[in-house]
Structure 1
Amino acid sequence: DGVNDAPALKQADVGIAMGIKGTEVTKEAADMVLTDDNFATIASAVREGRRVYDNLKKTILFIMPTNLAQGLLIIIALLAGNLIPLTPVLILWMNMATSATLSFGLAFEAGEKNIMR
């Protein structure tokens, strides 16, 4: 009936409610609401979530060496007694020109073929 389902949905790891036929109490208690009442939507949502997570990992692994190199350059310059070779504004411009623009390709990449395994 929907009202009695609310405690079970709260206790579940992931509570799922139907959006069209579900009651308001059930929708509020659920973690996820299927707006089209189609269980295939769950698989699509999991696939999309895994794609986003995978692309986020790729983007971070792409950006990290650039930022580590910039930090290492600054640390070496400071240890050598020199002035800071890269100003904060220069670092921002370098990150916008290289990291941000080039990582867009990774961020919007299609999912891997075996992403649901």
Structure 2
Amino acid sequence: MEEIRPSHQAFWKITKTLKTEGYTPIPPLKRPSGSIALDDAEVAECIADSIETQCSHVSLPHDIAHINSIEEEVLQKSSLEPKDDLTPVSLREVQTLVKSISTRKAPGLDDVSK
């Protein structure tokens, strides 16, 4: 190492290695066609296409038999007599409770009770 001068090529290779230790290069973006996006406009278009694909609402095919079985079960359960003597909850009660919850509260279990 002492014999290496700053003009020596090995000096700069060692310097580069030390500077980039832990560096992981980012692979280039590939378009759906398999070609690589080279300039900024192509990269921007590639990212925009990816986001559009991820955010688009694709309708899945409906399984009519499954939907019918769920509707039948809901109808059956909703027609059963209640197992307890609780009075039904009104829409007004729900609205009042929802409005009383703090808007600065994070969602999740919080043991909210009246």
TM-score over 0.5 for the pair: no
Task: Name the larger-Rg structure.
Answer: 2
Q: Relative CO higher for 1 or 2, CA cutoff 8 Å, sep ≥ 6?
A: 1
TM-score (norm 1): 0.24
More helix by percentage: 1
Higher strand share: 1
- TM-score normalised to the size of structure 2? 0.25
